[in-house]
Amino acid sequence: MPTSSFKTISEIATGVDNLDPTIANAYEARISEAFAKKFDAFLKDAAKIPAGPGAEAALSELLKPGSPHLEVARQIIQIWYTSQFTRPDGSVDAPQTEDQFKSALLWRVIGAVAPAYSDRPYGYWKDKPANFA
């Protein structure tokens, strides 16, 4: 079940306020499925961070070198900025919807397009090119 603490921690970790709650729910489900126990442990510890001034410093302290939460935190940041993340087995969990792809923070934060951008419509790769009849 999605939690508001995931969205709050995501906003602290990414430095971006007002993240889309629908996207947050989808990302939480994806990350929690891939990392299960590690995700729950991170969310439990991160939920103790008080919102407001000092939240970034408190999260940095939680994620100091050697922290058991580093891997999950990195993947949470990665999913928000690129709409994909790396699963524990090394495979890439790609965007699941066009909305997820288009919501990648890279677009908004630095004015760049997400990796593997194409000017063709989302999902164009699923159809054979017309000249390959």
Q: In the structure, what pLDDT confidence band is assigned to residue 1 with cuts at 50, 70 and 90?
A: very low
* Residue written as token pair 């995501």: 10
DSSP state of 116: T
Q: In the structure, what pLDDT confidence band is assigned to residue 108 with cuts at 50, 70 and 90?
A: confident
Tell me the β-bridge partners of 86: 92
Query: Considering only CA atoms, which of 85, 65, 68, 79 is closest in space to residue 13?
Result: 79
Beta carbons within 8 Å of 94's beta carbon, 6+ residues apart = 83, 84
Q: Which helix (H) or strand (E) holds 121?
A: none
Tokens of 40: 């729950």
Residue 83: pLDDT above 80? yes
- Average pLDDT on 10-19 reads 93
- Between 39 and 114, the more confident residue is 39
Contact 85, 31 (CB under 8 A): yes
d(CA 124, CA 122) in angstroms, rounded, equals: 6
Is the pTM here over 0.85, yes or no? no
Average per-residue pLDDT in the chain?
A: 87
DSSP state of 132: -
- Average pLDDT on 9-15 reads 94
- Between 121 and 10, the more confident residue is 10
Beta carbons within 8 Å of 34's beta carbon, 6+ residues apart = 75, 85, 87, 88, 93
